[in-house]
Amino acid sequence: MALISQAEYARRQGISRQAVRKQVQSGKLRLIDGMVDTSLAEKDAKNILSTKEQLLRAKLQNEIEKGKLLKLETAEKEQSLISAEKVRDTLFRKGRIIRDAFLNLPDRVASVLATMSDAREIHMLLTKEIRAILEELSNG
């Protein structure tokens, strides 16, 4: 435990005596009988630096997260990114169209199929109808 005067401490730290006084008043620097304990002051300074370092890291992480969010918002505005909700809605609507088209297929071809007896003709007609449904879906 090395005790030095506040003036000596200020000289060693390269700061003014007023700055030392402010550190004492704010509780950043503790005195023993009006003198500065250099080992205690060093320990306090390390704790202050550690706290500031943690604060800076937290601020940096916050800025990184803000940047990521801004990047996503920009991509969405430029329409190079689509919200998951919009994708789900679109897929649901397209799925309904596909479902309805295939459910209507038997109603459309049943009467024609009833007149056919050749399996090859039936196969060709069903293939033609399925292709027509898929073509319509790919165009719209």
pLDDT digits (tens, 9 = 90+) for 58-83: 999 999 999 999 988 887 788 777 88
Bin 36: left if φ > 0, else alpha if -120 < ψ < 50, else beta: beta
Adjacency order of strands within the sheet including 31-32: 3-4, 35-37, 31-32
Distance CA 130, CA 125 (A): 9
Confidence of residue 125 (pLDDT cuts 50, 70, 90): very high
Tokens 């505005």 sit on residue: 77
Tokens 């196969």 sit on residue: 123
- Name the pTM for this structure: 0.40
Residue 48 has pLDDT above 80, yes or no: no
Do residues 45 and 37 touch, judged by C-beta distance below 8 A? no
Mean pLDDT of 33-46: 86
Per the document, the length of the chain is: 140
Name, in order, each residue with C-beta under 8 angstroms of 28's C-beta and a sequence gap of 6 or more: 44, 48
CA distances from 92 to 54, 87, 88, 97 (A): 47, 8, 6, 9
Q: Strand 3-4 to strand 35-37: parallel, antiparallel, or no bridges (unpaired)?
A: antiparallel
**pLDDT at site 7:** 92
